[in-house]
Amino acid sequence: MEWVEVSTENCTVQRTLDVVGEKWSLLVLRDAMNGVRRFDDFRRHIGLSDAVLADRLRKLVAAGILDTVPYQESGRRTRHEYRLTSKGWDLWPVVLALKEWGDRYTADPEGPPLDVYHADCGEPVRAVVTCADGHGPLRAREARTRPGPSAQPLG
């Protein structure tokens, strides 16, 4: 069975996009990965409405990508910070790969607005594709696809 003969009803790429494939959700993840935790900081930094931000945060919490942690400033009501869960941090290579692509093709002439570097040596960090046996980095032409264990015929 070839890919064009496989049903996409249970496609994991599609399911992932249902959770994080919307622009604002990815920008919330970007900010959370860079230390933003509070609603007002997300709103100010990303520049979206309260309603849209609240909706995206609610969806990311419901998906187990963000968790809420209560905090209270002196004399104020209890509020919540948003922290990435391990499931959320597992999206870091995806966000890093999007950043790399953007740095290559959409950055200002002066370069990207954010550098990601290795804390120990100071060199740039890159998203790299390898096989489970450690061969890599791999290019797309060095990989193949085949139906997986839950593949079902189209139709």
Crossing angle of the two packed helices 92-105 and 23-33, in degrees rounded to 10: 100
- Looking at residue 4, what is its pLDDT? 83
3-state secondary structure of 4: helix
CA distance to 20, 27, 41, 64, 149, per residue, from 59 (Å): 9, 14, 18, 9, 29
The tokens describing 46, both together, are 């990303």
Residue 57 has pLDDT above 90, yes or no: yes
Cα gap 6→4, rounded to integer Å? 6
- pTM (predicted TM-score): 0.89
CA distance to 1, 9, 14, 136, 148, per residue, from 4 (Å): 8, 13, 15, 28, 13
Averaged pLDDT, 137-149: 93
Averaged pLDDT, 136-147: 94
Residue 155 has pLDDT above 90, yes or no: no
Cα gap 35→23, rounded to integer Å? 19
Q: Which domains does the chain have, with CATH numbers?
A: 3-142 (1.10.10.10)
Cα gap 71→99, rounded to integer Å? 31
The tokens describing 142, both together, are 């060095």
Block residue for tokens 């391990």: 86
Average predicted confidence (pLDDT) for the chain: 95
Cα gap 4→153, rounded to integer Å? 9
- Looking at residue 85, what is its pLDDT? 98
Q: Which helix (H) or strand (E) holds 70?
A: strand 66-71
Q: What is the pLDDT of residues 70-124, one digit of tens each?
A: 999 899 999 999 999 999 999 999 999 999 999 999 999 999 999 999 999 999 9
